[in-house]
Amino acid sequence: MSRVEKLFITLANFFPVWVVGGACLALWNPSTATWFQPTWIPHFLGIIMLSMGLTLSLEDFLRVIQIPRSIALAVGLQYTIMPLLGFSLAKIFHLPIDYLIGIVLVACCPGGTASNVVCFIARTNIALSVSLTAVSTLIAVLITPLLTTIMIEFISRNSIEGPIQVDTTGLLVNTFKVVILPVTAGALLNHFFRKWVKKINSYTPFIAVISIVFIVDFILAAKKEEIISTGPTLVIVIVTLHALGFILGYLLSKWLNFSKKNSQTISIEVGMQNSGLATELARNNFPDFSLATVPGAISALTHCILGSIVAGLCRLQESCNK
């Protein structure tokens, strides 16, 4: 591996620094981030999903087939813990309808590529992490729109604004375009052009991280005044959502007799959502609720910070057990 490749891998591993630093800069001086155009979000999400697809191979899918119970249980935790937490917190804190939509979308999205980076830093089961991210992402095309529709329509039924009719078909189509197509394209490129893909695989994680930073920073900068005016409630809800996701993901995995390493991996996968996807789904499918994109941006910042803390705890626990 060349020095340049090692440099890019190191830069990718510092993704919490880029996210937090970029967010602080965007809130302090919004003009540093508002050059980014909202119409670019799906393209940059495509880059992120393509980057994940480039890491997938036939062996990854064979691995999933070999441990179907573990994958099914872990993905089941992903799509029960976070949606139930998001639903409950939205009800308990009586969030405005825009933020309610955003929180539900975050909670119902699959894991993101950031979780794979955190698992690498934490030295957990990276193969399991990649498999879980891949499977949860692939089934998100059906699960995310359906869960979102059920929860938003139920919660909004008694709201002041009245019930919201969710365009489930639109969510399905949008999720398919933003997630399935680029992931599939990446996996196919890796299968048919593996030698070429190996040459760029050291660079794509950092490109994916920077793409996440651009999306998050733009939304934080564009919605700065609204974020400040909402007070601490929304931040408390999002921090609680992700913190409980990490904790319950680990405890329930241990209860289901997963090993410590695998339980740590599942904890990270459950606690870290594809907030960029939630942001794009909110922007594209709920145009009448402009603030619905805000929870996704704050979520990306939050789970990166918490994820880095969890990674540090995992490393500390490993060193103490030696």
CATH code for position 240? 1.20.1530.20
Which string of b and e fits 45-67 if b means at least 16 CB within 10 Å? Answer: bbbbbbbbbbbbeeebeebbeee
Looking from the CA of 175 toward its CB, the CA atoms found within 13 Å total: 25
User: Taking the model in full, what pTM does it have?
Assistant: 0.79
C-alpha distance from residue 311 to each of 192, 269, 314 (Å): 34, 12, 5
How many domains in the chain?
Answer: 1
Taking the C-alpha atoms of residue 16 and residue 12, their distance in angstroms, rounded to an integer, is 9
pLDDT digits (tens, 9 = 90+) for 26-58: 889 988 888 988 888 788 878 877 887 787 777
Give the residue numbers spanning the domain of 82.
Answer: 3-320
Interval 52-110: pLDDT, tens:
778 777 776 676 677 777 788 888 888 999 999 998 998 888 888 888 889 999 999 88
Provide the β-strand partners of residue 273: 111
Backbone angles phi, psi at 273, to 5 degrees: -100, 165
Contacts of 37 (CB under 8 A, 6+ apart): none
For residues 117-146, give the mean pLDDT: 79
Tens of pLDDT, residues 238-271:
999 999 999 999 999 999 888 888 888 889 989 9
